Amino acid sequence: MIGIVGAGAFGTALAVALARGGREVRLWARDPAQVRAMQDTRRNEAALPGVDLPGAVSVHQEIAEVVGGQALLLAVPMQALGALLDQWPQIDARQPLVACCKGVDLTTLRGPVAVIEGRRSGAQAAILTGPSFAADIAKGLPTALTLAATDGAATDGVALQELLSTPTLRLYRTGDVIGAELGGALKNVVAIAAGTVIGAGLGDSARAALMTRGYAEMVRLATALGARAETLAGLSGFGDLVLTCTSSQSRNFRFGHALGRAEGFDPRVTVEGVATARAVVALAQGLGIDMPVTAMVDALASGRTSLKDAIGQLMSRPLKQE
């Protein structure tokens, strides 16, 4: 049995994919009304409309009913992960704990695996990340992801890779947790910037330049923290960056697009890149690392600068060698 905590779009899509791959899946949702609706209709219309839950997926309100299996996937927003672990002591180290979120914790300035390990001593922690839209996974479209667990850790990455792979969901394994975490976190920040460029009508050439310079920032910060540059060139970095910077399915891109058009954005939609930008600015300042794109996104999202001023600041930076 595989447990999944969090019945949003991504958690539900993973449940569907794994069940189709022959796994028994128990899915936990916080809202009792949502649990009842999913049990009755066998759908999660609010998060993933039009997708039927396979018979191997059961939906639960009690978190004790989804723990203790072969693995527990934590499909909650990054900024909610620590609070979830604090609230539910039933989530323990009896099984591998796999983070399915992207970002940097605002309180600790650490990634999902470090947050899990900090709250569960001896945890078998890992992260599942990479270029993926929930709708594609749920439809059974071919998707490849990165599964990262620290080399030499208690987590058996090979066994997890086999457990969570299906005919349509292909997992690649890495021991570079920091690289995988930061690739998934920072690409959301760059996606906001890319959406802003397109929303403001600055064109595809500007987006390409922005993506390239944003990728340079991703590599710069990640390697300073001990990541391998080649990890950022893989699925969890470059692959995810391309996907989220070029598709309106990305919430971060859509948020940036609204910023560029000076339009409002639905506050109920989780936009991980906003909090990540704020956390990364603090992290980079502490390390003395220059991250102008990230700083621009943070200033724009918080309303501390205008789009015109942000563009002017980026374009007037000193000329230098690439």
Cα(294)–Cα(282) distance, rounded to whole angstroms?
Answer: 11
Give catalytic residue positions.
187
User: Cβ distance 187 to 218 under 8 Å?
Assistant: yes
At residue 1's C-alpha, the angle toward residues 13 and 83, to 5°, is 65
Residues 220 and 225: their CA atoms lie apart, in Å, by: 9
Residue 253 in contact with residue 194, Cβ under 8 Å? yes
Nearest-angstrom CA–CA distance, 285 and 259: 25
135-to-132, 142, 224 alpha-carbon distances in Å: 9, 11, 35
Specify the 3-state DSSP secondary structure of 74. Answer: strand
Gap between the Cα atoms of 25 and 9, Å rounded: 15
